[in-house]
Structure 1
């Protein structure tokens, strides 16, 4: 074999090996990234399922006793506490952003929708011993209303479906978010929370 041809073949083989190694590495990296993304998605989904399972029994207990729909309670807890991950929920067991005063409260930052825009303000929020205590107090708020209107949430308690209950919360100014009812309904439908309604 011609010596020049031999070196050409050797160089071509080396180039093919290098190109193969590069693309092989690239494919491996891509699969690894996809695998890690899938693992993250599965972990987040499990955390969400676990959160729902943890608070659902107390929400159902409150519905049985006081007729506040479990799906609404769970959806509010999800939305207000970011799946139990907010500082207020983690550190002070307040799942619903319920305001408070005195020794059993903490000053925290919160976002409210005012004059067509989101603003950060400081507010004083209740501190609870557990998430169950927070759920029980949320139910109490629905039953007893606010200090200025004891019937403020009566339409929520008397609602016969979660869509009406969600709209009643918005109509009663539970939150400043103009899309509050829509967000609650979306959460309920996405995670089939109406299965927890008695």
Structure 2
């Protein structure tokens, strides 16, 4: 009889110990899962905040360059949407060294050492991208850069005064983007496609109205 009672007590003690072990495991698992999902939630929150800040920065850049681009369109018939899209692509949303330090939004080259700087750039040559050096114009403001860009469209290059007339005469942003590529503004073989994509993604065509 006494042995059975001792065995019963041992079984109860074993059950209680097992329950405590399970409770402790459950607590640790709960803490781990809570910490794990908090990290996921916090990471998602940070990423969403960064995306929101990125969207805000891009909209700020568009609003900064749009008024001058529209003024040039109204006076000289150069599509504002294409001017803005070029500024976005060429300057990496105004963050490139050329744009942020020297106010050159369009990668316009220069020859006079007094108002130009030699910087590293990428060119698409013989089917591949290469890093090279180029001399680029320096401006006092983004507004001056946009005006000079329009001047380039109107007056062409030193070797061809009519080089960009197809851009000026384009009826819409698609024609203007394709004309820019055909006229050799950039070496990128997808330049027109990228311009059109940026215009459509950020609804820049609304600035042409």
Q: TM-score range by the shorter chain?
A: over 0.9
TM-score (norm 1): 0.98
Q: Find the counterpart in structure 2 of residue 41 from structure 1.
A: 51
Q: Find the counterpart in structure 2 of residue 57 from structure 1.
A: 67
By how many angstroms is 1:3 displaced?
Answer: 2.1
Give the alignment's Cα RMSD to 1 decimal.
0.8
Q: Find the counterpart in structure 2 of residue 5 from structure 1.
A: 15
Match 2:191 to one of 180, 186, 190: 180
In 2, Cα distance between equivalents of 1:11 and 1:182:
64
Structure 1, unaligned stretches of length 5 or more?
none
Task: Report which structure shows greater RCO (CA 8 Å, sep ≥6).
Answer: 1
By how many angstroms is 1:12 displaced?
Answer: 1.2
TM-score (norm 2): 0.93
The reply on whether 1:99 has 2:109 as its aligned counterpart is yes
Q: Which has the larger radius of gyration?
A: 2
Matched residue SS, 2:136: strand
In 1, Cα distance between equivalents of 2:97 and 2:131:
15
Q: Find the counterpart in structure 2 of residue 75 from structure 1.
A: 85
The reply on whether 1:168 has 2:182 as its aligned counterpart is no
Superposed, 1:151-162 pairs within 5 Å as 151-162=162-173
The reply on whether 1:126 has 2:137 as its aligned counterpart is yes
Q: Find the counterpart in structure 1 of residue 4 from structure 2.
A: none
In 2, Cα distance between equivalents of 1:118 and 1:5:
71
Matched residue SS, 1:7: helix
In 2, Cα distance between equivalents of 1:189 and 1:105:
33
Q: Find the counterpart in structure 2 of residue 137 from structure 1.
A: 148
In 2, Cα distance between equivalents of 1:70 and 1:47:
20
Post-superposition Cα deviations, 1:35-73, rounded to whole Å, max 9, x if no partner, equal 111111111011111000010000000001111010010
In 2, Cα distance between equivalents of 1:62 and 1:163:
18
In 1, Cα distance between equivalents of 2:179 and 2:82:
11
Q: Find the counterpart in structure 1 of residue 6 from structure 2.
A: none
By how many angstroms is 1:176 displaced?
Answer: 0.4
Structure 2, unaligned stretches of length 5 or more?
1-8
- Structure 1 stretches of 4+ with a deviation exceeding 3 A read none
